[in-house]
Amino acid sequence: MNHLYALLGRIGLSLIFITSGWSKLDAYAGTQQYMDAMGVPAALLPLVIALEIGGGLAVLAGAFTRSAALTLAVFSLAAGVLFHADLADQNQFIHLMKNVALGGGFLMLAAHGAGAFSIDAWRRDRRLSTPTLSTGGAL
């Protein structure tokens, strides 16, 4: 059952980034303006979109999960601080806490891996079952 929970957790964590990346593509100019207004160079937008969609898809598939999760944890915390720093505004505070929670979820994923239903597990199992000269297998 834990394998299923890991898969469902990866789906939940990844969807917010995949959909957010796509929405930035759809509202590209508006997102650039928002970034500029918050003091973040709009030239970073293509990198942000690639990170959100690419990282989200990697976590969803369970491919390079630990690296993708660590990167998205840092990104979540940085985005929270950069875009939701007005703690007197209840809405901004909730968004900041959402980013902190996402960062925590990604750190757990980085610590424990993607689980059995993942490309990482498939690659590991495939590598372990491949005979090598040191184990006496023929190549």
Average pLDDT in the 42-59 region?
98
Q: What are phi and psi of 15, to 5 degrees?
A: -60, -40
Assess contact for 106 and 73: CB atoms under 8 A.
Answer: yes
pLDDT value of position 133? 60
Assess contact for 120 and 129: CB atoms under 8 A.
Answer: no
CA angle 104, 13, 78 (to 5 degrees): 50
Q: Residue 138 — very low, low, confident or very high, per pLDDT cuts 50/70/90?
A: low
Domain positions in the chain:
2-112
CA pair distance 40, 7, nearest whole angstrom? 34
Mean pLDDT over each residue of the chain, to the nearest integer: 94
Q: Return the SS3 of 39.
A: coil
To the question of pTM greater than 0.75 for the whole model, the response is yes
